[in-house]
Amino acid sequence: MAGSRSERLLALLQALRRHRRPVAGADLASETGISLRTLYRDIASLRAQGAHIEGEAGLGYLLKPGFLLPPLMFSPEEIEALVLGSRWVAGTADPKLAGAARDLMTKVAAVLPGDLREDLDRTTLMVPRREQVADTADVGGIREAIRQERVLRIAYRNEQGEASERHIWPFALAYFERVRVVLAWCELREDFRSFRTDRILDFADAGRRYRRRRAVLLKEWKTAQGISPET
């Protein structure tokens, strides 16, 4: 693999992060484009810098979470992806999340080495601004309910203008170009349903947590939609 030693170590670190189960050294070497001998040296270097990598030759390797390789490094493509994604969030998401995207870019720029900071400033990938449908619900509050796995009582008006009250288990929020959609288990329908945030007239915490973890609900929803759980 071309590039400096720091870039090589970063690539190996990223490869380890992509695997949730132990991965064979030969597979890691192939994935990162280095020899098996170099892989063993780089594993030792990462461990010396504080990376908690479990395993050994013949058994496979697994990176435990919580390690960042200093200094913070990105490839040109990673910088472009970061800028493009942050600009999209800043222009599309609810105000609180949009502000967080701008703050994120400021924090990243503050810790990047000088040459990479220049790449960040020079990136010319743009996201066109589109008129958003105004939310009638506090999307930030809904995101908090998803994080806390709280049941919400919502007043909802469907496309035909019919109003109803539901108790839902919100587990995901989908951001489209003009609207946002809450994915949830609906207690009334006893099935998965989606609710546009511009049609949620009001919502409140129902005073209880839902009985299944949001990761489980998301996996079940993907299965019902014919989507790979790994997507």
Burial of residue 165 (number of CB atoms within 10 Å: 0-12, 13-18, 19+): exposed
- Report phi then psi at 101, rounded to 5: -65, -40
Question: 154 with 220, same domain?
Answer: yes
**What residues contact 31, with CB distance under 8 A and at least 6 apart?**
15
Q: How many domains does the chain have?
A: 3
* Residue 28 pLDDT: 93
In a domain, 46, yes or no: yes
Backbone angle region of 55, left / alpha / beta, with phi > 0 → left and psi within -120 to 50 → alpha: left
Interval 151-166: pLDDT, tens: 999 999 999 999 999 9
Per-residue pLDDT, averaged over 116-138, amounts to 80
- Domain extent, residue 100, equals 76-122
194 within some domain: yes
Determine whether 216 is exposed, middle or buried from the number of CB atoms within 10 Å of its CB (0-12, 13-18, 19+): exposed
* pLDDT for position 1: 44
Residue 75 has pLDDT above 60, yes or no: yes
Q: Do 118 and 44 fall into the same domain?
A: no
Give the model's pLDDT for residue 163.
94
* 37 and 88 share one domain: no
Query: Is there a single domain that holds both residue 102 and residue 54?
Result: no
Q: Has residue 230 been placed in a domain? A: no
Residue 71 lies in a domain: no
**More confident of the two residues 214 and 58:** 214
Domain assignment present for residue 133? The answer is no
What's the N-to-C CA distance of the chain in angstroms? 27
CATH code of the domain in which 36 resides: 1.10.10.10
